[in-house]
Structure 1
Amino acid sequence: MGKREDAWREKLQLMTSYERIHWEHGELVAGIDEAGRGPLAGPVVAACVIMPCDDLILGIDDSKKVSEKRREALYDIILKKAVGYSISVVDNRVIDEVNILNATRKAFENALRGLEIRPQHVYTDAMAIETDIPYTPLIKGDAKVYTIAAASIVAKVTRDRIMREYDKQYPEYLFAKHKGYGTKAHYDAIRTYGILDIHRKTFLRKLIQND
């Protein structure tokens, strides 16, 4: 565990460099990220978290770089230690109505508005939002900023749990395995069993047209 822990501590030092600018002035910092922009089915989920400056969590990273088992463990730790957090779920119907970019922005803004505590600064993963709070959008922010990475884990675990529930309703679609992404197995299931109410019709236009 020694070398891994040392690597985590080094990573943590790098990933909190943005927050420390604000923490040194006693400011609260929020991070926002999403999960589920690309799938063919299910919602897009955004999480907004404010983490304490004096109780950092080892192992926080971009959710895509963390195993599912570790994400689940970190999710509980993040929510337990967070100064504040909020989760927003925007379903496939809204995605079809306003497009995925606007639906994701809506999820970001709803998550921020859902906080019970107002931060002094917000970092987002490359998303421009409408807010009166000073904020900084950063490309690949989930790999650079501790609070965005924490938000990415919360969003990812929340969405994965939603998709596992859908898997119980529609086991033939294998949602627990691919989480709604466009895998061969998912496309094969759609062709065999049809399009569900939870599918994003705008993501399946070619398939619908061919039928």
Structure 2
Amino acid sequence: MPETIASIKQQLKTMNDGDERLVIWQQDKRIGVQNALKSWQNRKEKLRLKRENFLTRFDIERQYWSQGYDLIAGIDEVGRGPLAGPVIAAAVILPHDFDIIDVIDSKQLSFHKRDELYDQIIEKAISIGIGLVDSPIIDKINIYEAARVAMTEAVKQLAPEPEALLIDAMRLDIDLPQEFLIKGDARSNSIGAASIIAKVTRDRLMKEYALQYPGYGFEKNAGYGTKEHLEAIKKIGITPIHRKTFAPIKDII
């Protein structure tokens, strides 16, 4: 009696190329078996492309490693657009053998995937630094400068110290070799890892603020100007973590 299609599908989940069972199943004329093999091939191809793209996102780091710079920090920030809460930056130094291929720009990841990768990055990174600039300072110096300050602070928190910097769309007043990369979080694994650390750190902080300042939906909107948030501002008013220089807040206070 031939194997069931369900059994074949289960075995394919952990099967590698060269397995003798593949030869047998390729001769099986059942449509269900052939569809299962096709799905297996598609999954393999997607994984191959994901790994290839991951390795490509280490191209810039490898250029520095080949020149003797071992400790390359990727730097990114999150929180420029919200009406409330701080801007947070992260700096991350990854080891040369870092192999978590799902790491990429945090905006391309689901909430649960970011949380999962956050823990893996924390475990494998050589060093991680966090910089935070809160709303009163943002109002005082503007959001662009606040992001720069947060990034600079994140770099200062690194131990060991970096030998070169890869920065997402920013230049820092730090005396180290550095590269300004547009959409760097999708071009460099180091910056991508930093974007995940910054995003998860900020989202968790905003959940804490949601307990302190209920009614604004901070646990869901992270301080962005959603309908719920804007209605709460009109009804309840602003909190100490709101940015007074941001519209529409500056127009109603």
TM-score, normalised to structure 2, is: 0.79
Aligned 1:1-211 pairs, distance under 5 A: 2-27=44-69, 28-204=71-247, 206-210=248-252
Unpaired runs of at least 5, structure 2: 1-42
Q: CA deviation at 1:178?
A: 0.7
Q: Please state whether the residue corresponding to 1:87 is helix, strand or coil.
A: strand
Q: CA deviation at 1:36?
A: 0.3
Q: CA deviation at 1:18?
A: 0.6
State the identity %.
Answer: 48
Matched residues, number: 210
Q: Please state whether the residue corresponding to 2:99 is helix, strand or coil.
A: coil
The one-letter code matched in structure 2 to 1:164 is: K
Q: Please state whether the residue corresponding to 1:34 is helix, strand or coil.
A: strand
Judged with a 3 Å threshold, the aligned counterparts in structure 2 of structure 1 residues 201 and 81 are, in CA distance, closer, same or farther, namely same
Q: CA RMSD in A?
A: 1.4
Distance 2:250 2:154 in 1: 33
Deviations 1:82-121 (A, max 9, x none): 1111011111111011110111000011111111112221
Distance 1:23 1:165 in 2: 39
Q: CA deviation at 1:25?
A: 3.7
RCO higher in structure (CA 8 A, sep ≥6): 1
CA contact (8 A) 2:103 2:192 kept: yes
Between Structure 1 and Structure 2, whose CA radius of gyration is higher?
2
Judged with a 3 Å threshold, the aligned counterparts in structure 2 of structure 1 residues 53 and 172 are, in CA distance, closer, same or farther, namely same
Q: CA deviation at 1:23?
A: 2.1
The farther-off stretch of 5-14 and 105-114 is: 5-14
Deviations 1:140-175 (A, max 9, x none): 111111100000000000000000111122231111
Q: CA deviation at 1:4?
A: 4.3
CA contact (8 A) 2:80 2:147 kept: yes
Q: CA deviation at 1:26?
A: 4.1
Unpaired runs of at least 5, structure 1: none
TM-score, normalised to structure 1, is: 0.94
Q: CA deviation at 1:209?
A: 3.4
Q: Which runs of 4+ in 1 moved over 6 A?
A: none
The one-letter code matched in structure 1 to 2:59 is: S
Q: CA deviation at 1:24?
A: 2.6
CA contact (8 A) 1:31 1:151 kept: yes
Q: Please state whether the residue corresponding to 1:203 is helix, strand or coil.
A: coil
